[in-house]
Amino acid sequence: QVQLVESGGGLVQTGGSLKLSCAASGRTFTFSMYTMAWFRQAPGKEREFVTRISWNDGRTYYAEFAKGRFTISRDAANKMVYLQMNSLKPEDTAVYYCAAGQRPADGNRPYNYGYWGQGTQVTVSS
């Protein structure tokens, strides 16, 4: 059983910053074997890819809207993944989800990830 628990969401003004955390646990969960990703879902919209960090080489990938503003990082020793979000905009308002996938064929697609957290709400006020 793998569990992912997000934290760090909240209400922030336009231009502000937030750092989300994702704690991974589970007896069978070998952190280094999983690509870790962040997705988000706004009301009435589909879940969309934000960023991911590859299981094998640690390379990072970002959605266009996230480039230059968001940074993903991981702490393998403590099985943690982080999402630093800067220069936040009202359109960043969404529930943010942490996801884990074992060698996902397409790391930008939600269906390639087998484990999900419960999500954390991020609201950016204008």
Q: What is the pLDDT along the chain (126 residues), one digit of tens a residue?
A: 889 999 999 999 999 999 999 999 988 788 888 999 999 999 999 999 999 999 888 899 999 999 999 999 999 899 999 999 999 999 999 999 999 999 888 899 999 999 999 999 999 999
Strands 80-85 and 18-25: antiparallel
Work out the mean pLDDT of the chain and round it to a whole number: 95
Quote the pLDDT of residue 57. Answer: 86
Return d(Cα 66, Cα 20) in angstroms, integer.
14
Alpha carbon 48 to its chain centroid, in Å, reads: 10
Quote the pLDDT of residue 8. Answer: 98
